[in-house]
Structure 1
Amino acid sequence: MKFGQDYQAALQREEFPQDWVESAISYKKLKKCIKRVQQELNGLGLDQDTLNALWQHVSTGTEALSDDNVASRMLHYTFDGNDKVRFVPKLTIALDPRDGSPMDAWLSPSTRRHLRRLSRNSKPLVDVEEVSPSAPNGGDADNSETDATEATDTTEASEEQQHSEIETVEIPLTSDSEFFQILRRELRSLDGLQHKEQQTISDDISRLAHQLQDLKASKKKRSKQDIEQWRRLFELYAESEVFRSSHEADAGARDVEHAQKQLQLFTKSVQEQRVKGALVSKESNEAMDRFLKINIDLLRLMRFQEMNRIALSKILKKFDKRTALHARAAIPESLRSGAAVSQDLARGTCYTIANELMSVIPQVNDYLCPVCFSITYKPVRLACNHVFCIRCLIIMQREEQSHCPMCRADVVLKADSDNVDQKLMAFLEKNFKAEVKEKQKANEIAAAIDRFGEPYMEPLKCSVM
């Protein structure tokens, strides 16, 4: 089955909203337009084989004539105008100023006749480029051309003189312009759709963030219980790395298939650990459903975006293959880097989730001591700004380790009670009561062992007979 058929079938199979399907790149329509471009080029004697040979001749000729750069101007395919308003593709071919024939004498007679006639009928479009003086001893252009013609049959120098003046003719390609105007219009429509849907997702995240802030500010006991479940949910979400990976092997944005797999694993973990089932309030249950829906909506938008990105790549590749115009190397940047085909959608949304949602309910993993990997209590902030729990700092000072384990700054032995971060300590006591209590108990036991030795622990141990 051809790509166009697969593409249309996938648009329907994924059950995208109708306005999404209508905004998608019309691959079939653009493919028909390519046929009209082919017909127009054939009518000018510039069929696919002729253009491919011409490009090849330009490529090899550029090396041979690098001094005056004539061959590099024998054929151009460019876009004229402002791509934000209107741009027009142009095919420019160098002509011999003596008779208006293309510089490449090997072209077929019919092609040469077409181009010569086009040159005569489009004089306002002709540009003259001078590479070197063409009329020595004060002679005019006509005399220089006559001299060059006479010298052609006798000396090698005359070949250089032949290229002293280069006329270029711009070939208007109506169907070509139509193809890119349609494509640009559809990409603009896709950009607008994506901005709209992305804004909807961002608004949903903001509303959910306000709901969590209200839940966190509540003094009700059930609200405190729900907060712990949300903390667990965000912990599982961070571990799943649904849309972006922080692992060295595959760091960066995930593709749609991998993101879908990770989202399924995350949802399964939530169900297995009964995170949602442990919520007490109706509002929290609805909010958690909304969070899961945000991720599903983002995944669906990413899938739609990826399908259009592939369709864009395929249709431009087909355009170049059928027309031999090398358009992909010349198209405006706006057609290649618009929001509709960019790969930054997941990154932007993940950033919003982290800053607006997950920041409302802090995660204990963000406040772990880099030495013992438990909560950083009591937190000691060194002069280098790295933070360690007081127990680990005492051990480092006792062993006379003067350098910070993170940055190797000579600051450890200089720390004292003034380095305890009171503000951070209050924050940890407020948000991680269970973890702080467990760490305090562990510190007390460790301090007692330091003072009284291991036998101190024997009475505290319970043995089962």
Structure 2
Amino acid sequence: MKFAREFREALRRENYPPRWVDSAIPYGQLKKCLKKVQRELAELGLDADTLRQLLAAHALSEHGDSVPLASYELGAGPSRPLRPRLTVFIHLEDGEAVDAALTPTSREFLQKLSSGQVPIHHHHHTDSASTRSSSILSTPTSPLSPTSSASASLASGGHSTDSDESSPDTQAEPAKETERIEVPLTFDCEFFDLLQSDVWLLDALQDEEEAAISKRIASLGEQMGQLTRPAKFHKTDLNRWREVFELYLDAQVFFSTCERDHGARTSAKALEQLVWFQREVNDRGLIQQFKLPASRDAYTRFLNLNSELLRNLKFQELNRVAVAKILKKFDKRTSLGVSGSFPQTISRRFLSESVAKDLCAQVSSQVVSTVPRVDDYTCPVCLSIAYLPVRLKCRHVFCVRCVVKMQRECKQQCPMCRQKVVMQADLRNLDHELARYMDLYFKKETKEKQKSNDLERGIEMFGENYKPDSCLVM
């Protein structure tokens, strides 16, 4: 009852739209339905302990394969209704259930099933003394499963089969068979119908929200493309936005690439990282540095978009926890073990984090990537911008100063792929198109790199005391 109350309070506290709240997992209804399932199983003599024993017990087939004495399958798939099915294999002698794993109550119930007093779906496998090797279940691998000799002993008053067969005065051995019985249950179908229909409803809601957010991301991406377009004769906020997005990527709001905590973040951690990002932007005064009023509006839209993603993430997280809790409670009260199989059977979208991943990837590709990053154009040797860019025959790009140094040292191999292409580079390897792109989008960085190159070249020509001062008119 504690989690049910916390779940309701969390939905109310976050001020989700009424449609979202109506689509949330009906945890309270599922708990009531679970009580009906537990009561139905208890009336059949299949309490949690008995089911745990049956599901754990195995026997060997005639081919030597391990076969469980009981199984519980959900059936169907993500796009079709679930049809749970509890199947039990029992050993019969003259119509009497002899499985040692059964409690007296469950043995009596299964006896009624096998005698036709309860409508069932069953399959018989007769096993006489001469055809015992054709039985579905033979020598058991678990002490809970009856052996052929043990079954015969129970039927004949404790005498072994071998002694009976060796005695000329012994009567014919009772007919033995293994019967596969599908136990008719009602309320487990009701439980999973309710859970599956609500997960489908959440899937539909997620699809709608994903489409709406996707449109907002695309619209913001178009606006960012206009605001960060480089220009010579009018104002641009390209450098300010580059710094904003570098902070955003450093924050790793929704996904971490660090070795210590790599992977998707929880909603609590994502909120913490988003707050850190906003604080860093404010501390550096980047908003006040924007030259265009539209940039401030775009930044507000960007924050609202992240808040909406965080809101969706938290709603999904709450419902995934609710599903996990109710399935864990189902397994605890029935021992049917559906916690592992249900997520793979019911929905690959809601119970996974594919929606959050898709939307975050779209933010990166359509919004953040509108501003080229310096890190994507750095020289692998000096780790500064690769200007002027030299593209070797192996297609790797280095700055011209690093290539000249490698040639002076007679280094033939590319530092990246080890192909012997360095000494083959000449003026034809200068990538003029990439150089123009760098001049356009990285004016500050290319000017600094050019000054650094000029200084280094001057020191080589005039000595360490060289200073790149302006010419003086005497």
TM tier relative to shorter chain: 0.7 to 0.9
2:437 to 427, 434, 453: 427
Aligned-pair CA distance for 1:250 = 2.4
Is the aligned partner of 1:378 residue 2:415? no
Paired residues, number: 445
SS in 2 for 1:12: helix
Look up the match of 2:42: 42
Letter in 2 for 1:16: Y
- The aligned counterpart of 2:334 is 323
- Give the percent of matched residue pairs that are identical in Structure 1 and Structure 2: 40
Residue type matched to 1:361 in 2? Answer: V
CA contact (8 A) 1:152 1:158 kept: no
With over 3 angstroms needed to count, the CA separation of the structure-2 counterparts of 1:124 and 1:242, relative to structure 1, is closer
Kept after mapping to 1: 8 A contact 2:241/2:371? yes
1:221: Cα distance to partner? 5.1
The aligned residue for residue 392 of structure 1 is: 402
SS where residue 372 of structure 1 aligns?
coil
- 1:153 aligns with 159
User: Over residues 63-112 of structure 1, what are the superposed CA-to-partner deviations in whole Å (9 max), with x where a residue is unaligned?
Assistant: xx476668724211112345522221111111334454445235333322
Task: Note closer, same or farther for the CA distance 1:277–1:210 as it changes in structure 2 (3 Å cut).
Answer: same
Change over 3 Å in CA distance of 1:99–1:367 after alignment to 2: same
- Greater mean deviation of Cα atoms: 99-108 or 279-288: 99-108
Alpha-carbon separation, structure 1, partners of 2:19 and 2:129: 61
Deviation track 1:144-200 (CA, whole Å, cap 9, x = no partner) reads xxx9766983325999x9997421111121100111111111111111112222222
Q: What is the aligned partner in structure 2 of residue 141 from structure 1?
A: none
Q: How far, CA to CA, are the matches of 1:135 and 1:316 in structure 2?
A: 47
Measured after TM superposition, the shift of residue 359 of structure 1 is 2.4
Look up the match of 1:127.
123
Residue 245 (str. 1) matches residue 288 (str. 2): no
Distance apart, 1:413 and its partner CA? 1.8
Amino acid at match of 1:245: S
User: Aligned pair 1:116/2:111, yes or no?
Assistant: yes
2: CA distance, partners of 1:68 / 1:205: 59
Distance 2:174 2:276 in 1: 71
1:43/1:151 Cα in 2 relative to 1: closer, same or farther (>3 Å)?
A: closer
State the shift of 1:280 in Å.
2.9
Alignment of 1:164-203 (within 5 A): 165-203=177-215
Equivalent residues of 2:120, 2:183 under 8 A apart: no
TM-score normalised over the length of structure 1: 0.86
Corresponding residue for residue 30 of structure 1: 30
Moved more, 376-385 or 82-91: 82-91
For 1:256-276, what per-residue CA distance to the aligned partner results, in whole angstroms no more than 9, with x for missing partners?
222211111110111111212
Q: 2:268 aligns with which of 253, 257, 270?
A: 257
Q: Which amino acid aligns with 1:408?
A: R
More off after superposition, 316-325 vs 240-249: 240-249
CA distance in 2, matches of 1:319, 1:184: 15
1:7 and 2:15 are equivalent in the alignment: no
Contact 2:91–2:176, Cα closer than 8 Å, also in 1? no
Structure 1 CA distance for aligned equivalents of residues 459 and 357 of structure 2? 48
Query: CA 1:163 to 1:376, structure 2 compared with 1: closer, same or farther past 3 Å?
Result: farther
Higher helix fraction (1 or 2): 1
Q: Is the Cα contact below 8 Å between 2:386 and 2:397 reproduced in 1?
A: yes
RMSD of Structure 2 on Structure 1 (CA): 3.1
In the aligned structure 1, how far is the partner of 2:385 from the partner of 2:92? Answer: 81
Matched residue SS, 2:413: coil
Amino acid of the structure 1 residue aligned with 2:210: Q
Per-residue CA deviations over 1:187-242 (Å, capped at 9, x if unaligned) read 11111112222222211110011112233458585541x22222221121122221
Structure 2 equivalent of residue 206 of structure 1: 218
The Cα shift of 1:282 comes to 2.8
Partner residue in 2 for 1:89: 84
Equivalent of residue 74 in structure 1, options 69, 73, 84: 69
Question: Is 1:306–1:341's contact at 8 Å kept on the other side of the alignment?
Answer: no
Q: Are 2:343 and 2:351, in contact at CA under 8 Å, matched by a contact in 1?
A: no
Match of 2:287 in 1: 276
Q: SS at 1:87's partner residue?
A: coil
- Counterpart of 1:451 (choices 454, 461, 468) is 461
CA distance in 1, matches of 2:174, 2:235: 87
Matched, 1:227 2:221: no
- Which secondary structure state, in structure 1, belongs to the residue aligned with residue 99 of structure 2? coil
The answer to whether the Cα contact below 8 Å between 1:222 and 1:281 also exists between their aligned partners in 2 is: no
Preserved contact between residue 46 and residue 106 of structure 2 (Cα < 8 Å) = yes
Distance 1:194 1:219 in 2: 40
CA-CA distance at 1:384 after TM superposition = 2.2
Say if 1:376 and 1:389, in contact at 8 Å, map to a contact too: yes
Partner Cα distance (1:115, 1:390) in 2: 84
Instruction: Specify the alignment match of 2:413 in structure 1.
Output: 403
Distance in 2 separating the partners of 1:431 and 1:2: 56
Counterpart contact for 1:79–1:332, Cα < 8 Å = no
Q: Is the 8 A contact 2:381 2:398 kept in 1?
A: yes
**Mapped partners of 2:33, 2:300: distance in 1:** 46
CA distance in 1, matches of 2:177, 2:343: 30
For residue 241 of structure 1, what is the amino acid of its counterpart?
A: Q
| Post-superposition offset of 1:134 | 7.1
* Deviation of the 1:249 alpha carbon: 2.4
Q: Match of 1:144? A: none
Which letter maps to 2:75?
D
Determine the C-alpha separation between the residues in 1 that align with 2:352 and 2:330.
21
